[in-house]
Amino acid sequence: MKIGELAKKAKCTVETIRYYEKVGLLPASSRDNINNYRLYNKSHLERLTFVRHCRALAMSHEEILVLLQARNQPAQKCDSIDQLIDDHLQHVTVRIKELQKLEAQLLKLRLQCQTPTDSQHCGILQDLEQAIEDNSTDKNFSHVAGSH
């Protein structure tokens, strides 16, 4: 199958597939001799699907590469896989807590200006000029992405 069909089946864009090939998450496919189009088979789709599932779980490319390698060495013990998932889970949990702190701070901030007035007296701006309790959010970032 051609790249467009693969993209549809894996629910991603063709650009993403070409990008994955470039960075080594997918092996280079064979090519049509005549027009140089990339040609894929079922095993490409399986690998790509695997990668997309990992990405949906917010794993980094590095983590995914480890899993892909493990997948190719069936006899190996899977302790390292368990560890990787545990570590990643930890990242996500940490990030959730960070964002919850942030949410609480923003809620508090928002309450500073319940009744709209002019900027000069807006409690929100005044608060943003004050110190915020040290919470170390955004410092030792875990690897799971944020809110924008």
Partner DNA sequence: TAAACACCCTGAAGCGGCTTCAGGGTCAAG
Partner DNA sequence: CTTGACCCTGAAGCCGCTTCAGGGTGTTTA
Question: Among 14, 39, 65, 85, which residue sits at the site for a second copy (rule: CB under 8 A)?
Answer: 85
Indicate whether 82 belongs to the interface with DNA (CB under 7 A).
Answer: no
Q: How far is the CB of 37 from a second copy (least distance, A)?
A: 27
**Residue placing its CB nearer to DNA in the complex, 32 or 82:** 32
Indicate whether 117 belongs to the interface with a second copy (CB under 8 A).
Answer: yes
Indicate whether 13 belongs to the interface with DNA (CB under 7 A).
Answer: yes
The H or E element that residue 39 is part of is: strand 38-39
Question: Among 2, 14, 50, 65, which residue sits at the site for a second copy (rule: CB under 8 A)?
Answer: 50
* 20: nearest Cα among 53, 52, 57, 66: 52
* Maximal CA-CA distance, the chain: 71
The H or E element that residue 142 is part of is: none
* 54: nearest Cα among 42, 40, 67, 69: 67
Q: How far is CA 54 from the centre of its chain?
A: 9
Measured CA to CA, the distance from residue 54 to residue 28 in angstroms comes to: 20
What is the binding site for a second copy (CB under 8 A)? 46, 49-50, 53-58, 60, 67, 70-71, 73-79, 81-82, 85-86, 88-89, 91-96, 99-100, 102-103, 105-107, 109-110, 113, 116-120, 122, 124-125, 128-132, 135, 137-138, 141-148
